[in-house]
Structure 1
């Protein structure tokens, strides 16, 4: 599913060398633990990135078997909070949530120095706008091939910044800037998430999503390509589940129900899944031998590096 997100950081402006998004993964209420599908039949890359984290997972791919086991041992020791030699569901859940929070903090910190130009500990809309789009603003994007797309992205960022800037002073504190960068983590940003989702999928501009737009966001057939079986399932999902009032469209309320489906705790689900897959003696917890016995599974999981999780002596819970 080519869900497009809304963080202004992916397409590089050649002159400014800063990011403006052209196509991005759409935001969901909680950041997922991996970009990969959670389908064990297709491999364990989702779990790999859940246990290790996305960047650390890449590192693990380059390690020898002995190096992998050594690093996993250190990670297991970190997760085992009470040091009883076992990893419980609660400890694993806490670890994954901790890594999610750490990823967001590191991501915000990385961008903070780029945008806080006057070093006053805040980021104004003008600082963000000028840093991201500045070179082209005076020219009204005349030097950009797709002027409409860049103007749309500027307007989109403006709307999101205003939603995050709850006191309306045009200046973002660190918490407000975090809401701007990661709106999926803040309940008061849900309307922005819904609107950005509609904007991405609604091709005819009527403010709603019809079944053709819904399917088109996931699958656009090449010439002569047959429609895969899952498309029929998604069409049924649209008519029977997504379109609750049966008017042939998904409005903002129905889109909210689709992409913000309540308090889905991905970290909890992944912790349960990892224990189920790794707990050889079925006592409901993991010891080091079980983790090492499933090294190939674990090292392709999201526990070990969500967004660059490192086994860092200074990485406090």
Structure 2
């Protein structure tokens, strides 16, 4: 049981009750973990089967929402804590709180050089938005860096499909498939399809950005179709390419002989009938599934980017110079001087 418990620890973010859109990635993590530890592969298989055949007793959320930029109140009249975490990410924002104003300005200036992608000397709203999204998704890039090391086997700065296939499935493809129908070959075929969609130049090799799109397709517009397709395949049990009401509810809730449904299940039935099934044919097609799992949410990163540019744009020309950003460093990053009371507390502790 110790090995199984350790294996469950590799599930990203919400754990095994989270959306199974990235279900194959979880198998990959399990396989890689156990292979590195030289544990019997049958243990990994046992976990995968348990996960694949079990249903959650609490609501499973397949909808992809962006996490909030910060849990702080956004009130610039009180402080800029929200802006600091939105611009830097929560953990990085803490490091700036330890700096003097001079150190803070210096480090911010170096960040501006990275934000200015086209190196024209100006930061636009679009560049600011992309930076904020990058700062908020730093955990994704950490995950990619970790996996990159174990898959770029020849260290040429690329991960080919052959490298990925051999590193992930090389130890199990020679085994016969289990009787319950679970198939590593099917899983590999699904991975190959996703890999090829992420591989924009179609050379069957992924650079770092393409590999990121492969591992985290929900973060890339050109990968949204595969997110929808994989979700639909997960839920569609009768193989008709559609999701009916029973499949929709069955994916979220296991009745398990209990005729008394929780209130949220009744609400989901109503949601399916009234809102999910837009053409009222009793089933969700690909477009209806897309509208469900990939809603057009309010773009918090864009709103914050516009806010930061507006507040810092001294000459009101619609974009920012490095000088304009550094002059308003307290809005972007802060320092000990912008939180004097907390700085005094830290000093007393020392």
**TMscore range, shorter length:** 0.5 to 0.7
- Is the contact between residue 177 and residue 184 of structure 2 (CA under 8 Å) also seen in structure 1? no
1:200-225 CA distance string (max 9 Å, x none) = 11111110000111111111123336
- Is the contact between residue 29 and residue 185 of structure 1 (CA under 8 Å) also seen in structure 2? no
SS of match in other structure, 1:10: helix
Q: For 1:121, which of 143, 157, 160 is the aligned residue?
A: 157
1:143-181 CA distance string (max 9 Å, x none) = 756563322211110110011112221111111111101
Looking at structure 2, the residues matched to 231 and 290 of structure 1 have their Cα atoms a distance apart, in angstroms, of 49
The number of residues matched between the two structures is 241
**Is 2:22 the counterpart of 1:6?**
yes
Unaligned runs of 5+ in 2: 1-16, 38-43, 53-59, 70-84, 107-124, 305-333, 344-350
SS of match in other structure, 1:233: helix
Looking at structure 1, the residues matched to 285 and 246 of structure 2 have their Cα atoms a distance apart, in angstroms, of 14
Counterpart in the other structure of 1:249: 283
**Is 2:270 the counterpart of 1:232?**
no
SS of match in other structure, 2:279: coil
Counterpart in the other structure of 1:261: 295
Counterpart in the other structure of 2:237: 203
Looking at structure 2, the residues matched to 268 and 252 of structure 1 have their Cα atoms a distance apart, in angstroms, of 28
Displacement of 1:101: 3.1
Looking at structure 2, the residues matched to 73 and 114 of structure 1 have their Cα atoms a distance apart, in angstroms, of 31
Looking at structure 2, the residues matched to 126 and 75 of structure 1 have their Cα atoms a distance apart, in angstroms, of 43
Change (3 A) 1:228 1:288: farther
1:56-91 CA distance string (max 9 Å, x none) = 7xxxxxxxxxxxxxx99656568x9789xxxxxx9x
Unaligned runs of 5+ in 1: 35-49, 57-70, 84-89, 271-285, 293-317
Looking at structure 1, the residues matched to 171 and 182 of structure 2 have their Cα atoms a distance apart, in angstroms, of 16
- RCO higher in structure (CA 8 A, sep ≥6): 1
RMSD: 4.3
SS of match in other structure, 1:16: helix
Q: For 1:214, which of 244, 248, 255 is the aligned residue?
A: 248
- Is the contact between residue 4 and residue 26 of structure 1 (CA under 8 Å) also seen in structure 2? no
Counterpart in the other structure of 1:62: none
Change (3 A) 1:158 1:95: closer
SS of match in other structure, 2:170: helix
SS of match in other structure, 1:206: coil
- Is the contact between residue 161 and residue 180 of structure 1 (CA under 8 Å) also seen in structure 2? yes
1:89-142 CA distance string (max 9 Å, x none) = x9xx999744433222211111111111111110111110110000122x2x41
**Is 2:139 the counterpart of 1:103?**
yes
Counterpart in the other structure of 2:35: 16
Displacement of 1:184: 1.2
Counterpart in the other structure of 1:135: 171
Change (3 A) 1:76 1:228: farther
Looking at structure 2, the residues matched to 26 and 180 of structure 1 have their Cα atoms a distance apart, in angstroms, of 21
TM-score (structure 1 length as normaliser): 0.61
- Is the contact between residue 201 and residue 217 of structure 1 (CA under 8 Å) also seen in structure 2? yes
Displacement of 1:182: 1.1
Looking at structure 1, the residues matched to 303 and 342 of structure 2 have their Cα atoms a distance apart, in angstroms, of 18
TM-score (structure 2 length as normaliser): 0.56
Greater helix fraction, Structure 1 or Structure 2: 2
User: What are the equivalent positions in structure 2 for 1:178-193 lying under 5 Å apart?
Assistant: 178-193=212-227
